[in-house]
Amino acid sequence: MRLVLPCGESAVLVEVGSLHEVHALQRAVQSTGLAVDAVPGWRTLLVTTDGPLGRLVELLEQLQVEAEEPEERAAHLLPVVYDGPDLDDVARSCGLSRDEVVQLHGSTMYTVAFLGFSRGFPYLAGLPEALHLPHRSSPRPRVPAGSVGIALDQCGIYPVASPGGWHLIGRTTSPLFEPDRDPPSLLSPGDAVRFHRVTA
């Protein structure tokens, strides 16, 4: 079921049932040309317009989408050195060995749900259930750029150094955000991501 909620004078927030539907609706909205922007969340899509808001609401209520992953989508293989400061704690908390944590984390094809928190920070869906943990009880004041972390049912990568409360299990050398690149963010919502283990 799709719920369209007003969000100011030029935007609406659309609530849907799944992440796949969020991305499918985003693609469909962008193809109509009626939206200035369509920003995905975990189960929502914020749509802004510079035209009549009523027309946008009508479109969103009637627009039909296929809530399936597209056959073709951008895919990224990111190298990871699994030497994060929380790797041993994660293994203990999950009842696994270090190698089992690494194997599980690297065995999954993740989907970029959305970008947020900081510029280019990807929230990745698809973390194996055996690795689900709450956020750290005490966030770090500074997490190095490139750190790969897990929390709840998600995986995330810190594009720049910043505070953070995710469990850090490794780091990647792939630059996720470069202001002079077009587009600046390496990853986009809907992209596929897989990690592969490398040595330092």
pLDDT tens column, 56-112: 888 888 888 876 666 678 999 999 999 999 999 999 999 999 999 999 999 999 999
Mean pLDDT of 143-156: 97
Q: What is the pLDDT of residue 130?
A: 98
36-61: per-residue pLDDT in tens? 899 999 999 999 988 888 888 888 88
Predicted confidence (pLDDT) at residue 34 exceeds the cutoff of 80: no
Predicted confidence (pLDDT) at residue 1 exceeds the cutoff of 90: no
Q: Average pLDDT, whole number, for the chain?
A: 92
Q: What is the pLDDT of residue 45?
A: 95
% of the chain with per-residue pLDDT over 90: 71
Q: What is the pLDDT of residue 69?
A: 64
Domains along the chain with CATH numbers: 3-62 (3.30.1360.40), 75-197 (2.40.100.10)
Q: What is the pLDDT of residue 167?
A: 98
Predicted TM-score (pTM) of the model is: 0.89
Phi, psi of 39 (to 5 degrees): -110, 115
